[in-house]
Amino acid sequence: MRLLRKHGARGFAQRVARVAYHKLGASALDFPLRYDDVADSRGLELAVPATRPAPGTPLGVGRICTPPGAGSGGHTTMFRMVEALEAAGHTCVIYLYDVFDGELERHTDVIRGAWPGVRAEIRSVAAGLAPLDAYVATGWPTAHVLASRSEVATRRLYFIQDFEPWFYPQGAEYALAEDTYRFGFRPITVGRMLADLLHDQFGATADVAEFGWDDAVYRCTEPSPREGVVFYAKRDTARRGFALGLLALREFHRRHPDQEIHLFGDPTVQMPFPVTNHGHLTPAQLSELYNRCAAGLALSFTNVSLVPDEMLACGVVPVTGESRYARASLDNPHVRWAPPTPLGLADALSDVVTGKAAAPAEISASVRPVAWDNAQRATVRAIEDEVYGPR
């Protein structure tokens, strides 16, 4: 009763759920692989086809991924590459790896509804991998899945959107994720940052698919001076630095109580100070929100996300944590690189709302429009070169 009175029904229910989570050992469900699917780079022998098809021959390409939820940014980028392969005349098959044994039909309905441009057949990894010309892993668990099927004679590639060991503390998941970069798959990275990391730490040379953004959606429609800040609040995604963002915004609100603070990304988030939580937004709605704000808190402690570029395109100054590697993918003079501390981030936000920033139209004009076509061409070229042989 004391907890109920102090924290309310929501806070009390959260505590009950937390106790149940630990009592029932639910953390066992967090491991994203079946143990039999774990591969080891030491002594790994991967079968390859005895011959190569002639250049120009239509290929069969499999993509192994986890079941997506509608709106998943990582899956959206991956499916863009599937569409490019299909447009180039190749046949794609999507293999879903689901440790929770969900219904394939339900996952298929999600993909068909959220990504209608994808024509690929959708299968389950549990049904076995067919003998295709190439397979592409799309995350560290699926890289293990592909490596553990070492008897499948195919060309293996790895579509890397983030440095996934950094998703975890030093431990089993960190080590297993890191080991995937030693499997010998041909890497294709989204952005230069990841290519630099792989080269520096593993001596690997990656094909780079540069970030793109939709300039038909994200553009400056409100060139006049603005107020307020916006934060991509993803509490359950550690690399998005939610707690750090909360502390920075609390300090910002103390200094500027008249400035409205907007959140998006998670409708369940509550803050100990006044905010407007917009929850899940479509790209068009998000562009409209950006055009109301002067600054945006865009935190990512691994690869940079699309958020800073989309903010810039709308005339918003993105404030993000200082990172040597991230600068390789986010080279814009209007980005505010700040020490990743509450005061460091709050200082940068304060500078923007007190007029120490360029006009929205100038910020927007600084962004070089980059269509996803470049990334799609780079991905198709890498897969074709790996299968046909170097040009």
CA 225 to CA 358: how far, in whole Å? 9
Alpha helices by DSSP H, 132-241:
140-148, 172-179, 192-202
Please count the other Cβ atoms lying within 10 Å of the Cβ belonging to residue 377.
Answer: 13
Per-residue pLDDT, 300: 85
DSSP strands (E only) in 244-376: 261-264, 276-277, 295-297, 317-321, 336-338
Q: What is the domain class of 229-365 according to CATH?
A: alpha beta
The pLDDT tens digits for 255-268 are 999 999 999 999 99
Cβ-Cβ contacts under 8 Å for 42 (sequence gap 6 or more): none
Per-residue pLDDT, 301: 83
Which stretches of the chain score pLDDT less than 70?
A: 324-325, 328-329
Nearest alpha carbon to residue 197 among 326, 298, 321, 299: 326
Cα dihedral sign, 54-150-190-194: negative
Backbone torsion region of residue 68, taken as left when φ is above 0, otherwise alpha when ψ lies between -120 and 50, otherwise beta: beta
Per-residue pLDDT, 227: 94
User: What residue ranges do the domains of the chain occupy?
Assistant: 30-212+373-388, 229-365
Q: Are both 30-212+373-388 and 229-365 of the same fold?
A: yes
The pLDDT tens digits for 367-377 are 877 778 899 99
Fold of 30-212+373-388: Rossmann fold (3.40.50)
CA–chain centroid gap for 369, Å, is: 20
Per-residue pLDDT, 325: 67
Cβ-Cβ contacts under 8 Å for 318 (sequence gap 6 or more): 295, 296, 297, 298, 307, 308, 311, 312, 334, 335, 336
Please count the other Cβ atoms lying within 10 Å of the Cβ belonging to residue 110.
Answer: 17
CA 370 to CA 208: how far, in whole Å? 14
Per-residue pLDDT, 328: 65
Per-residue pLDDT, 306: 83
190-205 as b/e: b if 16+ CB within 10 A: bbbbbbbbbeeeeebe
